[in-house]
Every structure is written in C-alpha cells, then in structure tokens.
Amino acid sequence: MILRRVIAHFRKQEWTAIALDFLIVVAGILLAFQITEWSEERAERKRSQEYLSRIRADLMADMTELQRHRELWGQVAEEGYAAIEYAETGDRDDATEWEVLRSFLHASQAWQFTFIDATYSELRSAGELGLIPDADLRSALADYYVLVAARRGGSGPYHLLPDYREWVRGRMRSDVLRYYWQACFEQAAGVQILVECPPPEGATDLEKLLEELAADQAIIDALRYWIDTMSQAVELAGFDLGRAQLLIDRMDAKVDLVNNFETRLISTREKLFHAQIAAGFSFEDTTPPGRIIRLVRNDDALMAATKDYWSFTDAHRGLLADAAQRADALLAQVEKERN
C-alpha cells in the first residue's frame, strides 16, 4: 500500500522518496478528477446533442406547417384582390358573377400559425440554455423564438382574425353560405383547401347580392386591410422559412463539429493508452517511483502522446469557457431588450 510505503520512508527520513510518493498520490488524484470531469463533459455534450436534435425537429415542423399556411395565405390574397377589383371598377373581366362572389368568401379565410417552441421553452424555463455552447447559435435561436414569434403572435399577421371575416359572412345569404361550406372549402389532416366549385344549382339574384357587397364600404375597407395583411404574411413567411433553414444548417454543422471532436478525443486517448502499454507503464502502486520517472522521461512516444492529449482537452475547455461567456452576454442583452 502507498500509505505503508510513505510511513516507511518517513521513518527512515528518506525525503526524496517521500516527495516522489507524494507526487504519485497527487497525480493519481488529478487523474481521477480528470476522468470524472471528462465523463461529465461527455454526458453534457450528449444532452446538448439531444436537445439540438429536438430543436431541429421543431424547426422542421415549423417549416412544413408555415409553407402550408403560406400557400393558403397567398391564395386568399389573390381571391381578395379579385374581389376588390370588382368593387372598385365593377369589372369582372372574364369571371362569372358566382366566381366573383366566391372570391369574396374565399378571401374571408384565415389560418392562424404558431411557432413550435416546446423544446426551446423547456431549456429556457429550466435555465439550461448553456447546453447550447455556441453563443452565436444561442443568440440566433433566441431571436427566432423570442423576438420573431412575438412579432408574429397576438395581433400579428400570422395570428390575426379579421373583422372582414365576420362582416362578409354576416351579409351572405344562408343558402349561398351553406353551399360554400359544403362544396367550396375543404379541411382535413391539417390542410385547408380553397375549391373552385361550380355555382349552386337554382341560386338566384347572385348579381344583386354581389352588388350589395361591393356597395358596402365598411366591408370593402376591411377587405383591403385583410388582404394587405395576408400579403405581408406571405412575404414574412418566406423570410422566416429561410431563417429556420439557416438555423437547421447551423445545427447540422454544430453536430458534425461535436462528432469530429469526439472522434479526435477518442483518438488521442487511444494513442496515450497504447504509448503507456508499449512503455511498460503501470498504475500499480508497487511500481518503484524511480521506474515511473524513467518511463516517462525516456520514452518520446509516451511524452508526445501525453502532451497531445492534454493540449487537446485544455484547448477544448478554453473554447467552452469563452463560448459560455459570450453566450451569457448575448442572452443578457436579449433579456434586456425584451424587458
């Protein structure tokens, strides 16, 4: 036992041997701490990758749903512009009375969109945003979820229910409105579809109904505002789709970087282990201190492998500390702007 050996050296006052024994004990403790620290860092990196994977899935879902919404919003805007043109000029071009009337109703559709932020909210509420060590990525995610989502929510273009929706349907005859829902609009599996349905059989006085709608200035003014909002939503959705794609690309690159780090770390550890075995190194406490010193001092391969491993892990810890400081500063700025 190392303790028994230290006592024996102490009794004989062999101070050099005592110093060497002390160094061996300290080295063993430091090695144990390093192994524990490395294991904890590995577990934290694994959690980080899991969260990034979940956020990536949320972003992919955002893109799928936002693209569907954008297509419908674009159709609603086109139908609304056709209705406005008739109200302002009285010109139906080649459209029938029913087609223009149908445009008034198609233009009343609204499909609200909400960003999926379950994973990011979980991280934020648990105070674990530090699991995303890349400060720039954390800032970009904060902007996407906190600032962008706030602008689009509530009364924003992604979430607004217009007055026009209520007013035009309130002015529509019940037989026409009932037919519209049966034949001109479909909703299933999270998709809304505007159908180019034929006119209802036996419907009369469609021209009179159309003229009444065009003459209602409040309805036309509300339609103009709503269609302008839908046009903005289409443009903003294109911007946000690009934003989500950039975040996905950055997270994919980050995952690749972490995987490369893991590969390099394992490689340096394996080289160190093989160099120790080749040099005859043993962690048994019965190994004479002088032999330990000679093994390390006289084996160039062992010295090189040790320096490579420690320089790599030290550089990694430095990068983590730097990223954490920059991330904390950026997040503090985001919180300040929100308040």
DSSP one-letter string for 181-203 = HHHTEEEETTEEEE--PPPPTT-
For residue 82, tell me if it sits in a domain: yes
> In the prediction, which pLDDT does 138 show?
87
Residue 9 lies in a domain: no
Task: Provide the number of structural domains found in the chain.
Answer: 1
Least confident of 189-193, 197-201, 305-309: 305-309
Residue 6: the pLDDT is 47
Query: Positive or negative CA dihedral for 189, 194, 199, 205?
Result: positive
Residues 6 or more apart whose CB falls under 8 angstroms from that of 313 comprise 34, 38, 265
Judged against a pLDDT cut of 50, whether residue 11 lies above it is answered with yes
Q: Does residue 26 belong to any structural domain of this protein?
A: no
Please tell me the predicted confidence (pLDDT) of residue 159: 87
Going by DSSP bridges, is the β-strand pair 185-188/191-194 parallel, antiparallel, or unpaired?
Answer: antiparallel
Q: Note whether residue 193 is domain-resident.
A: yes
Q: Which domain holds residue 261?
A: 35-338
DSSP 8-state class, residue 129: G
Residue type, 85: E
Residue 283 identity (one-letter amino acid): F
Please indicate, yes or no, if residue 127 is contained in any of the structural domains: yes
pLDDT of residue 258 exceeding 70, the answer is no
Cα 135 to Cα 132, 260, 324, 332, 334: the distances in Å are: 8, 19, 7, 12, 12
19 lies in a domain? no
For residues 27 and 275, the model is more confident at 275
Cα separation, 52 vs 285, in Å, equals 44
Torsion of CA 134, 140, 142, 145, to 10 degrees: -130
Residue 30 lies in a domain: no
201-207, Cβ contacts within 8 angstroms, sequence gap of 24 or more: 203/98, 203/175, 203/176, 203/179, 206/97, 206/98, 206/101, 206/176, 207/97
pLDDT(150) > 50: yes
Residue 266 pLDDT: 60
Structure confidence at residue 188 (pLDDT): 81
Q: Is residue 131 part of a domain?
A: yes
Distances (CA, A) of 260 to 19, 114, 257: 41, 35, 5
Res 61 pLDDT > 50: yes
Strands (E), the chain: 185-188, 191-194
Backbone angles phi, psi at 159, to 5 degrees: -130, 5
What's the rounded mean pLDDT across residues 280-305? 62
* Of 61, 34, 57, 55, nearest in space to 132 by CA: 55
Identity (one letter) of the amino acid at 264? R
Q: How far apart are CA 102 and CA 180, in angstroms?
A: 8
pTM of full prediction above 0.75: no
Which of 67-81, 85-99, 181-195, 200-214: highest mean pLDDT? 67-81
